[in-house]
Amino acid sequence: MVKNQFFEIRNFVSVAQAGSFTVAAQALGMTGSALSKSILRLEARLGTKLLHRTTRRVSLTNDGDSYLTDCQNAMAILDEAESRLGSEQRVPAGRVRIDLPSAFGRRYILPSLLELSKEHQQLDLSITFSDRTVDLMGDGIDLAVRVGHLDDNVDLVARRLGEQRRVICGSPAYFAQRGFPLIKEDLQQHSCVTGWPMTLRHSWLLKSHEGVTEPYEIPVRHEIGDCEAILSAALAGCGLAQVPTWLVEEHLQSGALVSVLDELAGDDVPMHAIWIKTPYIQPKLRAVIDRLIHLSSAPDSKFIAG
């Protein structure tokens, strides 16, 4: 339906409700002649007469009466849709699809987002947990929290939330059997537990002799696609793991894990919230972004490097 057809329908409803071309024309800000021509075009397009016209009044034909009912119903649906959309534009309402890092997301982000949904009863959440990089557009994700350096992407917006510092650690039982690595080359003689590889080669970020952080290829015994499961493997004495400090701090303090090569463990790894670039951020998405920013800036925030 072309734009002019909408105007013709609006004009017809106005005339039918007013019972007068003159009154309807004044309400619409049109001349009587222009309004009459608009109704004639509508009747010609529909192939039927909608209005009986006399010098004193306007009345509906049978077809006109039936058509008016349909038009009023359609306009009521449009009014309701606009009202609902207008309300959703003012308050956080609707569904937001979010992808979070598995362990960090469950521990430190999910509780705050659930509180947010309780504050806004019309805000619905669809949350997935993954340590792999998701395709926001392809997977229909509105917002993701990612750990690591981001590639340039003109279609995405990134907001830095904080950093993660990683340590290499293992259990005392493991070190009793295999000894402590003193230099990074010693890692070649150890069993390493890593996450699922993004490339064909496994590597940890370590500092070179020049102090530059770079990938260092390591031998891998176990590949485990979950951060907390990697922690379990390290606690069980299955090998060394490079994991964030927030995940292992209590185990380091208790002595259940011991960190090694601390001076080489690498720089802090950034954490970002990312979403698809649009001219306008809907309130439902803005509410989630604002909550993440607030969470990351709290005094006890785990987004800050430990």
What pLDDT, on a 0 to 100 scale, did the predictor assign at position 305? Answer: 45
Q: How far apart, in whole angstroms, are the C-alpha atoms of residue 306 and residue 27? A: 67
User: 192 forms bridges with which residues in the sheet?
Assistant: 240
13: its two tokens: 């409803």
pLDDT, tens digit (0-9, with 9 covering 90-100), for 107-155: 999 999 999 999 999 999 999 998 878 888 878 899 999 988 888 888 8
User: 127 forms bridges with which residues in the sheet?
Assistant: 98
Instruction: Give the pLDDT mean for 61-76.
Output: 90
Same domain, yes or no: 147 and 18: no
Going through 41-122 in order, the beta strands assigned E by DSSP cover 51-53, 58-60, 94-100
Percent helix, strand, coil in the chain (nearest 5)?
A: 45, 25, 30
Instruction: Give the pLDDT mean for 148-167.
Output: 87
* Contact present, 24 and 14 (Cβ < 8 Å): yes
What pLDDT, on a 0 to 100 scale, did the predictor assign at position 2? Answer: 56
Residue 90's alpha-carbon distances to 81, 115, 147, 169, in angstroms, are 14, 20, 32, 49
Please provide the average confidence, as pLDDT, over all residues in the chain.
87
Residue 304, domain member (yes or no): no
194: its two tokens: 């890593």
Q: How far apart, in whole angstroms, are the C-alpha atoms of residue 260 and residue 262? A: 5
Residue 303, domain member (yes or no): no
What pLDDT, on a 0 to 100 scale, did the predictor assign at position 290? Answer: 95
Find the domain containing 217 and state its range.
Answer: 166-264
Chain position carrying tokens 């031998």: 219
Same domain, yes or no: 187 and 259: yes
Q: How far apart, in whole angstroms, are the C-alpha atoms of residue 286 and residue 143? A: 10
pLDDT, tens digit (0-9, with 9 covering 90-100), for 239-293: 999 999 999 999 999 999 999 999 887 667 889 999 998 877 889 999 999 999 9
Name the domain boundary from 41, 56, 90: 90
Per-residue pLDDT for 21 more than 70? Answer: yes
Same domain, yes or no: 150 and 282: yes
**Residues of the chain with pLDDT > 70: what percent?**
92
Same domain, yes or no: 173 and 154: no
Same domain, yes or no: 146 and 117: yes
* Contact present, 241 and 156 (Cβ < 8 Å): no
Higher pLDDT, 71 or 76: 71
Residue 178, domain member (yes or no): yes
pLDDT, tens digit (0-9, with 9 covering 90-100), for 204-220: 888 887 778 888 899 99
Instruction: Give the pLDDT mean for 10-21.
Output: 89
Per-residue pLDDT for 162 more than 80? Answer: yes
Residue 306, domain member (yes or no): no
Higher pLDDT, 1 or 114: 114
What pLDDT, on a 0 to 100 scale, did the predictor assign at position 205? Answer: 85
Cβ-based neighbours of 89, under 8 Å, separated by 6 or more: 282, 283
pLDDT, tens digit (0-9, with 9 covering 90-100), for 185-194: 999 999 999 9
Per-residue pLDDT for 200 more than 70? Answer: no
The DSSP-derived string for 193-204 is EE---SSSS-EE
Same domain, yes or no: 260 and 279: no
Residue 34, domain member (yes or no): yes
Residue 42, domain member (yes or no): yes
Q: Which residue from 234, 222, 214 is spatially nearest to 197, judged by alpha carbons?
A: 222
Same domain, yes or no: 155 and 171: no
Residue 306 — very low, low, confident or very high, per pLDDT cuts 50/70/90? very low
